[in-house]
Amino acid sequence: MSSLPFRSPPQQTFSPLILYVSLAGPLRQSHHPDILEKIRQKLDLLEGIHAWWKVAPGRVDKTRQVYFQLDETLNISDIKGRIDRILQRQDHHHKGSYIHSNSHRIFYHFLKPESISALTHTPIFIDGQSYYPCRPRFIQPVYGLEIAIAGVGYLSQARSVIDNYIERTFGGDSSDPVKDPVRFQYSRPQNRQKYRLPIDHSNLTT
């Protein structure tokens, strides 16, 4: 770890609360979740820093994104202004918000996950209507090459069918540390099959 070169963006005039860590140069040409996992563990030991794997590609942190669904008869711009003022009074700071076109949804990207928990427990109340934050569906990876296959609880032989497919498609000989089927891990929380596969999740969120 000590021999890894680190490169940071130009000096900023603010202190961001969300940072993304990725590999650069030759290290980016192949999968290195082992390196990123060691970095994640070291960062997570620092006071005031929580580091975990990204749940989706892109620069949007889905774990801090919510939307409020409005009735089609309401003035969405007016409701958004009122929600903005309520969030400000309650110190639920966000780094951006927008009205999604033709969906009657107002999206917010909060700085702290605790804001989402607080608003879920005590929703915004306007004109006799409670507005609960809705979150996008995601599964938090615990390792960079891990994926979850949901919706297979009704299949009696789901594991063996998926195992056979993965081994035929991605399997290699025992000397291949990336494709060796013995690395596949199975668990069954909420009917999910979980595997470690050669898929690039080359970013961490801190």
Among residues 131, 155, 185, the one where a domain terminates is 131
pLDDT at 88: 95
Domain-ending residue, one of 131, 154, 186: 131
Q: Final residue of a domain: which of 107, 131, 155?
A: 131
The confidence score (pLDDT) of residue 169 equals: 79
Residue 189 lies in a domain: yes
139 in any annotated domain: no
The total number of structural domains that make up the chain: 2
pLDDT at 111: 87
Helices within the chain (DSSP H only): 33-44, 76-89, 113-121, 158-170
Please indicate, yes or no, if residue 12 is contained in any of the structural domains.
Answer: no
Q: φ, ψ for residue 144 (rounded to 5)?
A: -65, -25
75 and 115 in a common domain: yes
124 and 154 share a domain?
no
What string of pLDDT tens digits covers the 206 residues of the chain?
545 555 555 554 444 567 788 888 888 777 788 888 888 888 888 888 888 888 877 777 888 899 999 998 999 999 999 999 999 999 999 988 999 888 899 999 998 889 999 999 999 999 999 999 998 877 777 777 776 777 777 777 887 888 788 777 776 655 554 344 333 444 444 444 444 444 444 455 54
CA-based max dimension of the chain: 65
DSSP for 85-120?
HHHHHTT--EEEEEEETTTTEEEEEES-HHHHHHHH
pLDDT given for residue 116 in this prediction: 94
pTM of the model: 0.60
Which residue type occupies 11?
Q
Tell me which residue range forms the domain holding 170. 146-199
